Structure 1
């Protein structure tokens, strides 16, 4: 019995060891089979037909195409507020009323100012008419007076100078005549008269002597009585001639004295004429002064007429003031109408900024104004996106897009790209602060739903390029070298080569260069080099040698299959 127990104690452990060894051997064989299956599953694929599409997917926010913050052009207290958030308003509906009291006061002030300005223009019209008539009359009179004096002033100096020269000539001639008379004519005549007197006296003495001699001779009887009588007759004749000569000399003295007096009177007369002619030059000075005075009067008349022109300019300024006040009045009347705030568009009131009774600022060029309500026209909506520079280069306006809204699962909306910003978004930054160049893109929905609201998150999917029903392979099975792109054709007869240092075994294939087309994140189109159904092996890794053992999981193919249905917004196209 003891031997049996001892044998059992020895046999049972041996049986356990044998069973354990067999289990280990079977487990190793199963692991090798599983490893080979995994190797084929993850490193071998087939060339299939399918779609390859480049997609740009980005999420943004929904916005109404037309959104208006309704403001008032009149500041003041909100007297009435007739809408609330969520109300639908038609274009032109009354939204609010601003207290018009202050605006009405401004209208009254502008009207009073306008009446005063119009009255001022009318007064200027009357004054201009009166002063124009007076100024024109004075100007015409002054011109006639200047013209008359100008003619007189032009003729008078010539006449005065001629008279002076004539008088001077007359004075000179009279003086010459007097000098000739006194120095030549009268002395010659007196000399002749004195000579005649002296001859007569000599003849008288000779006649006396002859008469006495004849009387003596007669007494002596030497001559006859007749000769004595003849001598007496000659004596009497000589006496008569002597008397006549004396009387002629006396008469000549009287005549010459009278001639001298007459000539002196003539000199005085011509001198008086000269003095009068010279005195007339003083009249020329007076006429010159009158002419200059008339010129000044003419200038004053012209200035007076120009003053009328200045009044006309003043009237124009007053008329401009009237126009300005009229414009202010029109603006005040317009603002009075603006106290009734009406909806500029049809839409939904999405926000109310003020309450009834609050004060609002007016919208102007100096102030942004206080918003009263916000109205959105949701008949057209769009999604605002921010897309990186690589993907935005693939987009174009009018490109179709599929839009899904997170708040409405299962509802898809069609849309199109309607705007691509020409410049990047300022201060766009990615993870870690690295700058990312992004551009704003708008996608407008073709139709809208009442359930869509501004601010909802929406995902837009655009397909810039796609190839349908083409030969394709997973991107992981495409290799590149200096000669081009290639694939590794799989040979089923080839056995896997064991890995080094405990690494999994690897498969090797035959290199085949191919031509490719469209590629996305998961697949690439093969246009030449392989045919449908051919099996391919992953190309060998040609990167830097890694330290340690590479671990291969079972999820590579699953990841490829999941990537087939999704593309990120950062894809590259050949």
Structure 2
């Protein structure tokens, strides 16, 4: 009986405990529900920014390199040994400055020869004019004079032909000599290749031997001294291989030099042939001219018309001699090369003592008092810039310095590969701070909006499907209110609003939890005037902005 009393008592106690626990849980659930309702009805904590008016400037930065507006090669017109070459890379030169002197001996001899020919022609003309009143006496003298001139002309012609063969033979000998040098250089390259192959085989053998000795050393079949000797042998063979490769590089350079000498010798053959042909042609023409003058003198004895024709021929001979002398004097002046522009020497191709040849540049000069910064621009940017527009340029090599420039040229066509347009910005470089080839960054103003209503970019929610439209959430009477807006220009930090809001209204840019339409909100952090934030929105655009003082107004 007592056992049943104990059991009944235990059941009653257990039922009491269960009932008490259930009542506690219902009380806790009621408290949690009350707390949740209080939290949902409490104002959301948000960060806001006030709408304001300011100017927006959108810029585009392009990268490019510096170019010289003028680049000129100083090239000789005559062939000769360079006696003086007084400038090097980096030297500044002025227009008209003497840069190069070429040996003038050959051209000076030609000038003397042409002067003598001109003196002879003038003498013959003067003599013919003096004998005009004594035609009968003067004709015989004229005939003899022309006969002598014909003999001289024929002698000169024979000499020119002989000189032609000699000059061609000498130039051809130089070509043959250069060809021999090329062959020798090619043989040296072949020998160097063989040396490299042999050295590579020795290195391979040494590596194999080292591996074998190291294996034997691991097995205890050889000594460490033997392994060290084999390793030293490998290093010696590798050094020999490096030396063989260096020797091949020198042989290749010698081959290139020999080929260049051969090309120069071949050009000399062509020049010698042309010069000799010109001399032969000139002497043949002189013979024909003297023969014509002699025939006229013989056929027109004592005839005034014939004598007049003879004078005309002599005058023509004087004119031809004067032209030949002027040409020789021009070639003599060509032995002195002067700077065609004021600038800086950027390349020196030869040294004093080298042989100058027509068409082979000796120096290169670039004008750098003003330079161009050349950049490539996308098609959409090229439509927003114009010639004469200002730009600012910075260089990584000159930190902290900004150079003002102006667009002087925009290419009318795009590059076929990149589909971009090239623009050139002129920079004043009188201090010589900027040099051709430097890397630069050029900034252009592409768009500008004055006195527009702006908000931080993160305050606007946009949809790519509807460009130019978006929504903002403003705080009106302590509650959140979503408004559709029309967007305008953006510089990556703020965006212009064309309608839907009023200057001074507070726009939500950040919230602790999602904000519903009409929900009570409480601003935290004191709000901002047009600054950036971290709330949602599409951050598009780029560039710098130039802020202006806040003004009144609205975007309705």
Using the size of structure 1 for normalisation, the TM-score is 0.46
The structure with the greater share of residues assigned to helix is 1
Structure whose CA Rg is larger: 1
TM-score scaled by length of structure 2: 0.48
